[in-house]
Chains A and B, each alone.
Chain A
Amino acid sequence: MAESGSSVEFSGSLTLPPPRTRIFKIIVIGDSGVGKTCLTYRFCAGKFPDKTEATIGVDFRERLVEIDGEKIKIQLWDTAGQERFRKSMVQHYYRNVHAVVFVYDVTNAASFRSLPAWIEECKQHALGTEVPRILVGNKCDLQDSIQVGTDVAQQFADAHSMPVFETSAKNPNSQDGNYGGGNSDHVEAIFMTVAHKLKSQKPLVLSQPPEGSGGTINLSRVRDDGGDGSRSWSCSSC
């Protein structure tokens, strides 16, 4: 039924042609209010949201980027932070995830202390160590109320073999702080780091064995195709 003129119809066949662009699926998790929505919005829309509300269930955002000449679709799954959602609602979205971004709020020590629970959550959803993870400390623009020091975060990240970034998803133009215009690029760099990492892991299959020592990312150049021109940026963690 539903015969339409353009007839882009699936006639019972379950085999679909492979999409031309590769898709990287990244799930963003962390406590309520740490800024997951802000970060994902910033990356996908290229600007800072005016105001974000509580995420109920799971929100989806995506963006097409180009890495070394290849067009890649980055899909971000922005999840609700309240525990009751994570326990029974979000599991569906852990499936076929290529990477995980853990977010905490540098001004909220409790959100940092929750990280082991989030890591455990990933384990329970059978996300192996081969799935790249990164740790993001958000709201670092609020320098006067920082509760989680960089060194502590770095130690934690090292122990879990993941790189850590401190950033602010807030509009740097509205801040007079030391971060200035360069800060917003962190958000860009964070997700692009993950994308580079994923691109280098070819082919993208779920059962990929952990590579080498793991946890080391060397990123030489991040290209932003959002129209801001390109810039260099590097990150490494051991």
Chain B
Amino acid sequence: MDGGGLPTSRVVSALAMRRRFIVTTTAQEPSCGRKQKLAEIHQALISDPVDIETLRRAAASKGGLLTDELRRKVWPKLLNINVYKLPHKPGRDVRENHKDYNQVVLDVRRSMKRFPKGMPSTERAVLQEQLIDIILAVLKHNPQLHYYQGYHDVAVSLLLVVGEQMAIAMLDTLSNYHLRDFMDPTMDSTKHILNYLMPILEQVDTELHDFMIRAEVGNIFALSWLITWFGHVLSEFKHTLRLYDFFLASHPLMPIYLAATIVLHREKEVKQTECDMAMVHHLLSRIPQDLPYELLIGRAQDLFDQYPPSLLAKRAALQSRKSLSISTFQAFQLSTLHQRPDSVLRRLTKAHGSSTSKHGLEAALPRDRGQLWGKGNRMVKMAVWGLSATLGAAVFAVAHTAMDWGPEVLLQLF
């Protein structure tokens, strides 16, 4: 248990602030397409109902959602989350009597690589404790779900972008839909999803497929890709975020299609390897860090359109097995169609006199964003926003020191 809430909030607010700082300083590549995309996303966000199709397209198309600031607004929409009704901060009780507690703590406390290099260990420790709480809060809320190693890699990617409370809301939804198959008591459903991989390869490159069958490499090399949405294997956080944009806007099987495009992309390397399980597994499981993600994302979408899961299941005579992620996806997508824009949601929340913690709302989303972003010096706006979104003056001092290692994070993250 960590002591007291105040220091925690301070440090983490500092982190949030720093990230905003980075966003503004890097968002300056002059690009007409980028500007247009930003405008489209903003327009989609204020449409009533929210233009979810445009948001999905933006998340999948070149560059994804572009900035963390936009991710904080678009990600919840992609998952049909009302940011004005976020879950409460987890109390100490989430850690009590949970069968997965030990495993979660073990995995989170050793997951140092997922945090920005250069982050002081004290800050990282605070975030790690939050991560434990987030995971256990979702698991407690959903007793039918079972923790798996790698779940923490998903949770941390959310936490670093959207903060604790929104991360809980997002993780809860993801766990019940996209990640649902991985959270069964056993991994049989996960295995079933993995079994879509080879049939995709077979459709596109029979020779490669046959080579891999001869090598008996199996598909476990792609397991961590699938169940962590690549969060476990990518060392650059910006790549992870780009993929999360894509996956949040896509069918739950999309990570498998992306896995297939990666294997196809490395076809020559694979075929030149000794046709042996160990060698091929070794080659494929080490994912190159300089993959052309935009290209691969486009290809994965093409593959998905050309060989949708239902077609693969038929052609490859995949053992029929009920996949909750697949079977609930359509209903899930429909549910995202009727969301009100945040301005309306906020008004409704106020009108209902909801007692949802004001602090929570504001931490989740900057108040009066429109005015703040309208004109003037960006740095100042960021600072003001940071303050309005967090706890006040105390934060400012912490954030100030945080700037010291800003450039390092900048290199790491963006």
Contact = CB atoms under 8 A, between A and B. Distances in A.
A2 B210 CA distance: 14
Interface in B190-241: 190-191, 207, 211, 214, 218, 220-221, 223-224, 227-228, 232
Contact of B110 (A9, A54, A92): A54
Nearest to B223: A57
Contacts of A58: 220, 281
Contacts of B232: 53, 56
A88 B224 contact: no
Contacts of B191: 88-89
Contacts of B278: 23, 25, 60, 62, 75
A90 B186 CA distance: 13
A51 B112 contact: yes
Contact of B275 (A16, A54, A90): A16
A140 to B, nearest CB: 19
Nearest to A60: B282
A14 B214 CA distance: 8
A16 B274 CA distance: 10
Interface in B167-208: 185-188, 190-191, 207
A85 interface: yes
Given A2-B268, A57-B223, A85 B106 contact: no
A59 B285 contact: yes
Interface residues on B, range: 35 or more
A171 interface: no
A169 interface: no
A9 B271 CA distance: 8
Interface in A75-120: 75, 80, 82, 84-85, 87-90, 92-93
B214 A92 contact: no
A154 interface: no
A120 B218 CA distance: 24
A88 B150 contact: no
Nearest to A8: B272
A32 interface: yes
- Most-contacted residue by chain B among A8, A59, A85, A89 (CB, 10 A): A89
Q: Dominant SS at the A interface? A: loop
B146 A54 contact: no
Nearest to A57: B223
Nearest to B189: A88
Contacts of B272: 4, 6, 8
Contact of B149 (A14, A25, A56): A56
B111 interface: yes
A138 to B, nearest CB: 15
A84 B223 CA distance: 13
A10 B223 CA distance: 28
Contacts of B112: 51, 53
Contacts of B185: 84
Interface residues of A, number: 36
B20 to A, nearest CB: 28
B369 interface: no
B194 to A, nearest CB: 9
A137 interface: no
A30 interface: no
Contacts of A80: 149
A55 B148 CA distance: 11
- Most-contacted residue by chain B among A9, A16, A53 (CB, 10 A): A53
A55 B185 CA distance: 19
A125 to B, nearest CB: 15
Contacts of A93: 220
Nearest to A23: B278
A132 interface: no
B343 interface: no
Interface in B277-322: 278, 281-282, 285
Given A56-B227, A85-B187, A92-B218, A1 B148 contact: no
A52 interface: yes
Contacts of A163: none
A33 interface: yes
B103 A51 contact: no
B317 to A, nearest CB: 20
Nearest to B146: A84
B186 A54 contact: no
Give the 6 A-B CB pairs with smallest separation, nearest first: A56-B224, A57-B223, A54-B149, A88-B187, A54-B107, A57-B220
Interface of A: 1-2, 4, 6, 8-10, 14, 16, 19, 23, 25, 32-33, 51-60, 62, 75, 80, 82, 84-85, 87-90, 92-93
